[in-house]
C-alpha cells in the first residue's frame, strides 16, 4: 500500500511505499485484494469527475420495453460530433430493434443534445432509415427551441414529421401510438 504525504512548504506530494496496516492499532478486515485508488485523488488539480459520474454510454441510453413495445432513446446531454458516432448510433439501435420482428414506437429525449452542423444531414439520413425500417412512430422532445427548429427543419427536408415537443407531457400518452 502507498502512503501519501503533502509537503507543506512546497505544496507537492511525496509518495512512499509503506505497509499501512502495520501503522494501524487494529487489524483491518480485507476480504479481497484492494483496488488501486484513482491516481487523480493524489493530484493537486481538480479530479474532473463529472464525465465519470454523469455520462451514460450509448448502450445505456437505449431501452426497449417489450410489454409496451416502446423503445426509449435518452439523448439528454449527448453530443454527436462525427460520422462514426452517427454510425455507432444506428448500429446500437439496430442491435436492439432489428431482431424484434415488429416495428416499435420510439420516444426520443433530445434535452441538451448537441450535434455539429456538418453532421446533421448524415444524422437525419440515419434517423430516416431507422424510422422507415424499425419504428412504427416517433415522439421527440427537447427544451431547446434552437434544436427543435434546426432538427425539425432537417427532418422535414427528409420527409419526416418535424414536430418536436418541448416536454414529454405535451404529447398525450394515448396519442403516442399514432403513426406519424
Distance, CA of 3 to CA of 38 (rounded, Å): 14
Q: What is the pTM of this model?
A: 0.62
Asked if residue 76 lies in contact with residue 41, where contact means CB atoms within 8 angstroms, the answer is: no
So where are the chain's domains?
2-50, 56-175
Looking at residue 170, its pLDDT comes to 43
Q: What is the largest CA-CA distance in the chain?
A: 73
The CATH code of the domain at 56-175 is 3.30.750
Q: What is the pLDDT of residue 66?
A: 94
Each residue's pLDDT tens digit, 32-55:
887 888 888 888 888 887 777 768
| CB 77 within 8 Å of CB 51 | no
Q: Which residues of the chain have pLDDT under 50?
A: 1-2, 7, 169-180
Amino acid at each position: 500500500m502507498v502512503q501519501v504525504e503533502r509537503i507543506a512548504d512546497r505544496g507537492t506530494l511525496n509518495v512512499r511505499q509503506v505497509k499501512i496496516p502495520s501503522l494501524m492499532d487494529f487489524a483491518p478486515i480485507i476480504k479481497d485484494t484492494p483496488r488501486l485508488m484513482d491516481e487523480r485523488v493524489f493530484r493537486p488539480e481538480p479530479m474532473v469527475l463529472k464525465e465519470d459520474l454523469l455520462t451514460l454510454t450509448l448502450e445505456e441510453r437505449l431501452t426497449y420495453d417489450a410489454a409496451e413495445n416502446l423503445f426509449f432513446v435518452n439523448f439528454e446531454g449527448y453530443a454527436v460530433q462525427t460520422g462514426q458516432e452517427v454510425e455507432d448510433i444506428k448500429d446500437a439501435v439496430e442491435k436492439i430493434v432489428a431482431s424484434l420482428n415488429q416495428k416499435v414506437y420510439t420516444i426520443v429525449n433530445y434535452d441538451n443534445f448537441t450535434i455539429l452542423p456538418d453532421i446533421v444531414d448524415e444524422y437525419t439520413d440515419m434517423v430516416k432509415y431507422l424510422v422507415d425500417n424499425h419504428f412504427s412512430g416517433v415522439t421527440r422532445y427537447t427544451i431547446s427551441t434552437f434544436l427543435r427548429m434546426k432538427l425539425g427543419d432537417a427532418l422535414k427536408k427528409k420527409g419526416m414529421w418535424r414536430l418536436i415537443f418541448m416536454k414529454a407531457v405535451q404529447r398525450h400518452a394515448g396519442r403516442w401510438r399514432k403513426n406519424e
